[in-house]
Structure 1
């Protein structure tokens, strides 16, 4: 595979909690979940996402779901003796995997990242938005507050607690944390390689290009092909900067970590 990648933290003063890993036949993108509460972990979300991404790449022969499960176990073992992995806020991440094996392209999506596949059947958009269906009351309360509202931070913490109560439980949403069984709940599929023209993989910060209505998905693919992933992120940053109070595009992070990848030559 040939992969072009661009990544940028939401703030220059904060570590990027997105992470990527690339092997000869696999691309991995992780979007670490913002920790608004205690986590019981001394390392942090960026550490977790980075080690998990590398673990998935290293276990590529197991296939997307198998590699994810094995990487979750390996990453948990790396900090089991130093951190409280039973803590309800233990670091987590959304996961996207694209892998080519022989004449088959396989994909996996767990959490609110996006894989866009342009194939002979048209454009398929795969994104797991189950998290947005949780903590409805708390989410609505936080969303209704202006970005400068002094009560906003406390509302986001309440929303986070409600989300964590629904994380990796039946009827809730699923992300990568410490339990390899989460891989069983991912959205997966496969497409014959000759039918695939191009693929995009985006963290939710980069997918704001469509969320904000700047582009539709065909336009995103065109931009990635013609100008590269950096151009997409620049467009998102420009939109965020033009709306510093989050009034035109209501959102809980004025600027989010953004990672975009464009995959060709499958």
Structure 2
């Protein structure tokens, strides 16, 4: 039976003035990253340092590590996780109505050994890059090419808001925030196409699962979109090069390179359009061996 071993991991907030809304973890059979979506100006419901997204990221981490065991289906775990979240959120809200865009949500991507096979499961825009023993490169996300849509949206938001010279996070600009609220309100809705970790157990029915046919041993990198930007947005590495660099020089050095691009080379977001100067960045480097 194949085994997963975590080699390295890192998680860091995009700004020292904001809580880290990412998390990562794993156990004997899986590794995963979780990316909480920053709130859009509403009142914190559960709150961890004022951030429901930070609370959800950590709650999901501990729940995954508890429940993703003994062959239990990941869809069942997601359903139970989201039901637990819904219970906490609605109890904390004290029966007050919650705007749909103000509900906590998070993306995740997981690699998991199931019997003799390797699978990946996800919701949202986290990323998996994997290089197998033959040098074959696999990459995936639950929302394909989400990074391209993110870049296009950020370019429009910069034009509307005046950019980072006016707002360090473009969602602080009222015209941008209202559009983001409109989009987020459509998440986890029967008529929508985006499903996440959060308060909707029905998201389990939309879990994106892929079996990965790879030659072992293989090395993989699970990333929040903030870390995957080194390949997806900034073009400093191909997907395969990013995995190899993570193994060769370590995730901490890659994080330093990421922040240098964002804070020194392109602090105004004109070369690489994005919604924040720096996003939270999380990655897990792992290997799968026979």
- Within the alignment, does 1:108 sit opposite 2:112 as a pair? no
The alignment's TM-score, normalised by the length of structure 1, stands at: 0.89
Alignment partner, residue 108 of structure 2: 95
Q: Give the ranges of 4+ consecutive aligned residues of structure 1 lying more than 4 Å apart after TM superposition.
A: 129-140, 192-196
- The correspondence for 2:85, drawn from 51, 60, 75, is 75
Stretch deviating more after TM superposition (113-122 or 228-237): 113-122
Are the aligned partners of 1:135 and 1:163 in contact in 2 as well (CA < 8 Å)?
no
Stretch deviating more after TM superposition (127-136 or 170-179): 127-136
Alignment partner, residue 227 of structure 1: 249
Bigger relative CO (Cα 8 Å, ≥ 6 apart):
2
- The correspondence for 1:142, drawn from 143, 147, 157, is 157
Q: What is the CA-CA distance between 1:98 and the residue it aligns to?
A: 1.3
Are the aligned partners of 2:32 and 2:284 in contact in 1 as well (CA < 8 Å)?
no
Are the aligned partners of 1:49 and 1:93 in contact in 2 as well (CA < 8 Å)?
yes
- The correspondence for 1:208, drawn from 225, 229, 233, is 229
- Can you list the C-alpha shifts for 1:116-149, whole angstroms capped at 9, x where unaligned? 1223582121121586798999766413242224
Are the aligned partners of 2:227 and 2:281 in contact in 1 as well (CA < 8 Å)?
yes
Are the aligned partners of 1:31 and 1:113 in contact in 2 as well (CA < 8 Å)?
yes
The alignment's TM-score, normalised by the length of structure 2, stands at: 0.82
Q: Flag structure 1 segments of 5+ consecutive residues without an equivalent.
A: none
- The correspondence for 1:56, drawn from 64, 83, 89, is 64
Are the aligned partners of 2:130 and 2:240 in contact in 1 as well (CA < 8 Å)?
no
**SS of alignment partner, residue 225 of structure 2:** coil
- The correspondence for 1:2, drawn from 1, 5, 15, is 5
Q: How many pairs are equivalent?
A: 266
**SS of alignment partner, residue 91 of structure 2:** coil
Q: Flag structure 2 segments of 5+ consecutive residues without an equivalent.
A: none
Are the aligned partners of 2:31 and 2:284 in contact in 1 as well (CA < 8 Å)?
no
Are the aligned partners of 1:95 and 1:111 in contact in 2 as well (CA < 8 Å)?
yes
Q: 1:221 to 1:66 in 2, by over 3 A?
A: same
Q: 1:192 to 1:138 in 2, by over 3 A?
A: closer
Alignment partner, residue 262 of structure 2: 240
Distance 2:150 2:239 in 1: 28
Q: 1:171 to 1:137 in 2, by over 3 A?
A: farther
- The correspondence for 1:185, drawn from 206, 210, 214, is 206
Distance 1:167 1:21 in 2: 25
Distance 2:230 2:152 in 1: 26
Q: 1:113 to 1:137 in 2, by over 3 A?
A: closer
Q: What is the CA-CA distance between 1:171 and the residue it aligns to?
A: 3.9
Q: What is the CA-CA distance between 1:8 and the residue it aligns to?
A: 0.8
Q: What is the CA-CA distance between 1:200 and the residue it aligns to?
A: 0.8
Alignment partner, residue 16 of structure 1: 20
